[in-house]
Amino acid sequence: MLPEFIVSPKVTAGDKVAVVSLSFAAPGAFPAVHEVAMRRLRDEFGVEPVEYPTATAWRSRAWRRRCRGRHRHTGAA
C-alpha cells in the first residue's frame, strides 16, 4: 500500500521558512551568495527565513567527522 502524502499549505508573506543544509553547508562556504538569497526571501517573497545551524556550519566538527576517510579536503574555505 502506498503512503498517503500530505500537501502542505502554500507559503505566504509573513510565514517563517526553514533554511537548512542537509549535506554541504554551502552558505558557510559562500556567505555572499547566501546573504543575497536571504535578502530575496525577505524582500521578494515577504517570508522570514529561520537559519538552522547546519545551514552555515562550514567545516564543523560533525562535518569533518563525517568526511574523514571519504574525501580528501582541499583546504579551500
Q: What is the pLDDT of residues 4-39, one digit of tens each?
A: 989 989 999 999 999 988 777 788 778 899 899 999
Lowest mean per-residue pLDDT among 24-28, 45-49, 63-67 = 63-67
Parallel, antiparallel or unpaired: strands 48-51 and 16-19 = parallel
DSSP structure string for the chain: -PPPPPPPPPP-TT-EEEE--SS--HHHH-HHHHHHHHHHHHHHH--EEEE-HHHH-TT-HHHHHHHTTT-------
What's the mean per-residue pLDDT of the chain?
81
Confidence at 2, pLDDT banded by 50, 70, 90: confident
Yes or no: say if 59 and 77 are a contact pair by the CB < 8 Å rule.
yes
Question: Which pLDDT belongs to residue 75?
Answer: 53
